[in-house]
Structure 1
Amino acid sequence: MAKKRIRIDLEDSDGAKYNFNIEGNITRDKVIKIFELMNLMNIEDQETAPQLDSVGAKVWHIVDKYFPMGNFTSNEILEKYEDEYNEPVKLSVISTYLARFNTKGRIDRLRQGKAWVYQIAKIPQKTD
């Protein structure tokens, strides 16, 4: 049987680097001990900036940043998008991404007159 190996490389907010190597008989308890050690040292995953490399990611960023609780329209997203990224985008593109998010269950939409009104989908709470 081949030797098992786990390597964890981290950097804290002060720039200090940490390297953890585990080789041989790796058990769940040993891995948990490493994470407990990291917790004692107060090493946490730094919140990374979202990858905004596509129009869809940028649209979702706008939805999540400006409308986490309330309702919004595609026109409101268009306005915030152009303000935030200083680049033009067509309303049809925004509407297409919002429709895709609705299909994936990320947002809910409701017809009000001639327009759609959107809201981030609520996750149902389990009651025990």
Structure 2
Amino acid sequence: MSRKKTKIEISDPETDRKITVTLEGKISPHFVASVVEDIYRKLESGFEVSADSPVSVPYVDLDSLSMREKVELVLLKFFRHGWFTSNDVQEQYTILFKAELPLSTISTYLSRIYEEGSQSILERTGTRKQYRYRLLAEKVKDRIESISKLDYLFT
């Protein structure tokens, strides 16, 4: 059985340049958009795109992420600065993934992430009834940079 191939052709009538991209396999619309955006950025900066020029777009299938990975993604994307509560995380999770996640589940994941000791990326304050969390900037700097490369997922 052959894999599905999708061919995208982009041409610029002013410069008579044409780019053809062939994608193979199960490809999400988000990934296609990110590839086109990456090519556009390279062309805008004067970079010559050729068959030997790799397109460096990270690909993440949101559906394949674990619940914990999804919660961490929300934290890194929306709560880079300042304090937040489990209610704040639940709200952003619902917006991003278009799915409800019980507040108790969010609270459990935040607590587990916090309780990782020296590996924890969170600090916590408040009482059990209303904990507030904040990302430890020095521990998530690289992760935040990686997440910023995935902005195509959040449009």
Q: Tell me if both proteins adopt one fold, taking TM over 0.5 as the criterion.
A: yes
Higher relative contact order (CA 8 A, sep 6+): 2
- What amino acid is aligned across from residue 92 of structure 2 in structure 1? K
Aligned to 2:38: none
Residue 90 of structure 2 corresponds to residue 78 of structure 1: yes
How many residues were matched structurally? 89
Whole-angstrom CA distance in 2 between matches of 1:120 and 1:59: 13
**Conserved 8 A contact 2:80-2:137:** no
Cα 1:93–1:113 change in 2 (3 A) is closer
Match in the other structure for 1:49:
60
Runs (4 or more) in structure 1 with deviation over 6 Å come to none
User: What is aligned with 2:78?
Assistant: 66
Structure 1 residue 83: Cα displacement: 1.5
**Superimposed CA distance per residue, residues 49-75 of structure 1 (whole angstroms, 9 cap, x where no aligned partner):** 375521111111111111111211000
> Structure 1 vs Structure 2: percent identity of aligned residues?
26
Residue 122 of structure 1 pairs with residue 137 of structure 2:
yes
Distance 1:113 1:96, change over 3 A: closer
* Aligned mates of 2:128, 2:55 — CA distance in 1: 48
Which is richer in helix? Answer: 2
Residues 20-60 of structure 1: CA distance to partner in whole angstroms, max 9, x if unpaired? xxxxxxxxxxxxxxxxxxxxx76574333375521111111
Matches of 2:99 and 2:74, distance apart in 1: 14
Q: Structure 2 length normalisation: TM-score? A: 0.48
* Structure 1: tracts of 5 or more residues without a match: 1-13, 17-40
Alignment check: 8 A CA contact 1:51 1:57 kept: no
* Residue aligning to 2:101: 89
TM, length-normalised to structure 1: 0.56
**TM-aligned CA deviation for residue 122 of structure 1:** 3.2
Q: Which runs of 5+ in 2 are unaligned?
A: 1-19, 23-51, 140-155
